[in-house]
Amino acid sequence: MCAIITYARSDLSQSFFEEMLAKTISRGPDMSRVQKVRGGYIGFNRLSIMGLTESGMQPFNLNGNTVVCNGELYGFKALKKYLEGLGYSFKSESDCEILLPLYEKLGTKMFALLDAEFACVIYDGEKDKFIAARDPIGIRPLYYGYDSDGYIVFASEPKNLVGVCNKIKPFPPGHYYEDGKFVCYRDVTKTKELSMSDVQNSEDIYRKESLEDITKNIHDKLFRGIQKRLDADAPVGFLLSGGLDSSLVCGVAAKLSDKPIETFAIGMDIDAIDLKYAREVADYIHSNHHEVIITKDDVINALEPVIEALGTYDITTIRASIGMYLLCKWIHENTDIKVILTGEISDELLGYKYTDFAPSAEAFQKEAVKRISQIHMYDVLRADRCISVNSLEARVPFGDLDFASYVMGIDPERKLNTYGIGKYLLRKAFEEDQVIPHSILMREKAAFSDAVGHSLRDDLMDHADKTYTYAEYEIARKKYTHATPFTKESLLYREIFEKYYPGQSEMVVDFWMPNKSWKGCNVTDPSARVLSNYGASGE
């Protein structure tokens, strides 16, 4: 990860801007740089991943233009070779150095051509304006706001903007900003034929493919998505929960690697559910496996730093973040690894436990569209912050644009759980490969916070219950008109959030919850544990 920040105000003091940039030094501890341009300031904190020498340090400059980018541009070597053929010369091995030549040739059309996880800001020196863009899923973070005089500020995290901007907003994924407007350049929730919003009006917008073709494409596209994310000049590690998604990422990576990969798992000291499954996968793929054991005190002590890092009050996100945060903290403190591959986004594409209750294929698809459109506020945010606050970089193979776009275009009738097990298409796709044990391939899902240990959720709820009396809870929760807390736990999280991000709750649209309009999903807790179909997934 890296941190970027730009402030379109030329009369700002550099020392003040440097203080803003310093708030996200954990994202890029290797080196920091600030550059004054005619229209304001540009700053960058670097975590060296591709092109480890100082020549790869940003901002990059070319013919009066400047760019900062937090991103990984897959396939950049082919683009670099193409640009060299046009006469461009490069001073580093950094993938992001190609952005200014591309902008010079293509302007904002270049964003739609990038196969990347990125957030970037370009200063066009000739036009004296800032242009910003974010990848279509929002895997790399970007926020914006306006100061009291109306000058726009872009930054990797909201903590850069607290105290400067009255309202802090997430930059919309798949958009670029130019001349005061946000323009959508790619929406991965749309099929090539029709918008998903038109799904109820047509039965013909999905590809007509056989089950064999669908599973082959899922296999091949995910395989390539994992393969391209192994390319790094810094050491790579893998989070392994023992569930389907992270196990597949690790299994494919192990098959592609010429030496044992490094895998990491975490669990509570008294009831860790997934450690045994992670160990089973690790033994099968012959990884160099590490287990981290945590206690109730570790969980409670991590709560405030986790919420400060996340910038959210959402129950699901916070619960699931504690284990990930503590695991990444251990990795940072005990290894030289800088890049982490994770299994996020599979659920949003292919189904959760609660989407088993979808009343129709159209309802399933609408829910997937909603989740993918908002995932930058939830699971993707969790992965980014838990990993980056520990000076590591997250890579998310299930968020590969080719893979995600393909899965969104599969007929949702195929994605419904009519097979007796969730995510059947993904499981079937990797049945022949045998990259992970068959028992893991067909294992029911457990939510990450539950999989770390049922006691983690219980400890957090107990801690919140002891923090407030019922009368105190009823009075305090009514202070918040947006996303009003509905349990003592949600109130506790909101009050910690407000301590660090006062008045900024609208950065997150609402609480992540199952679709309460579906029969079987009208629950008051987001954990899959409360659903009737949880079954053996948590054992």
- Predicted pLDDT of residue 535: 59
pLDDT of residue 234 exceeding 60, the answer is yes
Q: What is the CATH number of the domain that holds 67?
A: 3.60.20.10
- pLDDT 10s digits, 91-109: 998 999 999 999 999 999 9
Instruction: Say what angle helices 99-106 and 76-85 make with each other, to 10 degrees.
Output: 60
The last residue of one of the domains, among 159, 184, 209, is 184
β 169-170/60-62 pair status: unpaired
Same domain assignment for residues 338 and 284: yes
CB 412 within 8 A of CB 364: yes
Query: Which two three-digit tokens encode residue 335?
Result: 């290894």
Position 481 in a domain: yes
Q: Which of the 8 DSSP states describes residue 353?
A: S
Percentage above 70 pLDDT, the chain: 95
Tokens 């020196």 correspond to 125
Mean local confidence (pLDDT), 49-71: 91
- pLDDT 10s digits, 403-453: 999 999 999 999 999 998 999 999 999 999 999 999 999 987 655 556 687
Same domain assignment for residues 178 and 220: no
Query: Which two three-digit tokens encode residue 239?
Result: 């989070």
Same domain assignment for residues 266 and 165: no
Peptide bond into 59 cis (omega under 30): yes
Same domain assignment for residues 204 and 178: no
The last residue of one of the domains, among 184, 217, 252, is 184
Query: Which two three-digit tokens encode residue 340?
Result: 């982490």
- Predicted pLDDT of residue 55: 86
Distances (CA, A) of 78 to 84, 109, 112: 10, 18, 16
pLDDT of residue 476 exceeding 90, the answer is yes
CB 80 within 8 A of CB 51: no
Give the residue, 531 or 70, on which the prediction is more confident: 70
Same domain assignment for residues 409 and 518: yes
Q: Which of 98, 59, 441, 79 is nearest to 244 (CA)?
A: 441
Give the integer Cα–Cα distance in Å for 71 and 249.
20
Q: Which of the 8 DSSP states describes residue 519?
A: T
pLDDT of residue 338 exceeding 50, the answer is yes
Sign of CA dihedral 133, 139, 140, 142: positive
Give the integer Cα–Cα distance in Å for 313 and 464.
14
Position 432 in a domain: yes
- Partners of residue 32 on adjacent β-strands: 45
Position 67 in a domain: yes
Sign of CA dihedral 463, 467, 470, 476: negative
Position 190 in a domain: no
Same domain assignment for residues 431 and 528: yes
- The structural domain count of the chain equals 2
- pLDDT 10s digits, 279-332: 999 999 999 999 999 999 999 999 999 999 999 999 999 999 999 999 999 999
CB 80 within 8 A of CB 60: no
CB 37 within 8 A of CB 21: no
Mean local confidence (pLDDT), 502-531: 92
pLDDT of residue 196 exceeding 80, the answer is no
- Predicted pLDDT of residue 192: 58
pLDDT of residue 147 exceeding 50, the answer is yes
Same domain assignment for residues 367 and 429: yes
Give the integer Cα–Cα distance in Å for 537 and 524.
20
DSSP string, 351-372: --SGGGG-SSHHHHHHHHHHHH
Same domain assignment for residues 17 and 83: yes
- Predicted pLDDT of residue 439: 95
Same domain assignment for residues 156 and 277: no
- Partners of residue 66 on adjacent β-strands: 61, 123
Give the residue, 361 or 54, on which the prediction is more confident: 361
Same domain assignment for residues 368 and 422: yes
Domain that holds residue 62: 3-184
Position 191 in a domain: no
Mean pLDDT, the chain, rounded, equals 93
Percentage above 90 pLDDT, the chain: 86
Please name the helix (run of DSSP H) or strand (run of DSSP E) that holds residue 539, with its range, or none.
none
CB 331 within 8 A of CB 264: yes
Position 323 in a domain: yes
CB 274 within 8 A of CB 265: yes
Same domain assignment for residues 264 and 144: no
CB 285 within 8 A of CB 254: yes
Same domain assignment for residues 75 and 208: no
Side chain identity at residue 536, one-letter code: A
- Predicted pLDDT of residue 446: 57
Query: Which two three-digit tokens encode residue 395?
Result: 């890579």
The band of 198, judged by pLDDT with boundaries at 50, 70 and 90, is: very low
- Predicted pLDDT of residue 119: 98
- Predicted pLDDT of residue 533: 76
The 3-state secondary structure of 382-414 reads HHHHHHHCCCCEEECHHHCHHHHHHHHCCCHHH
Please name the helix (run of DSSP H) or strand (run of DSSP E) that holds residue 69, with its range, or none.
strand 65-73
Position 266 in a domain: yes
- Predicted pLDDT of residue 443: 87
Mean local confidence (pLDDT), 63-79: 94
Side chain identity at residue 143, one-letter code: Y
Q: How many residues does the structure list for the chain? A: 539
Give the integer Cα–Cα distance in Å for 95 and 331.
25
Position 189 in a domain: no
Mean local confidence (pLDDT), 465-470: 98
Q: Is 2 a catalytic residue?
A: yes
pLDDT of residue 188 exceeding 50, the answer is yes
Query: Which two three-digit tokens encode residue 414?
Result: 């195929």
CB 7 within 8 A of CB 18: no
Side chain identity at residue 101, one-letter code: P
CB atoms near residue 55 (< 10 Å): 12
Q: In what order do the strands lie in the sheet containing 116-124?
A: 60-62, 65-73, 116-124, 129-134, 175-178, 181-184
Query: Which two three-digit tokens encode residue 73?
Result: 């541009």
- Predicted pLDDT of residue 448: 52
The last residue of one of the domains, among 137, 162, 184, is 184
Q: What is the CATH number of the domain that holds 460?
A: 3.40.50.620
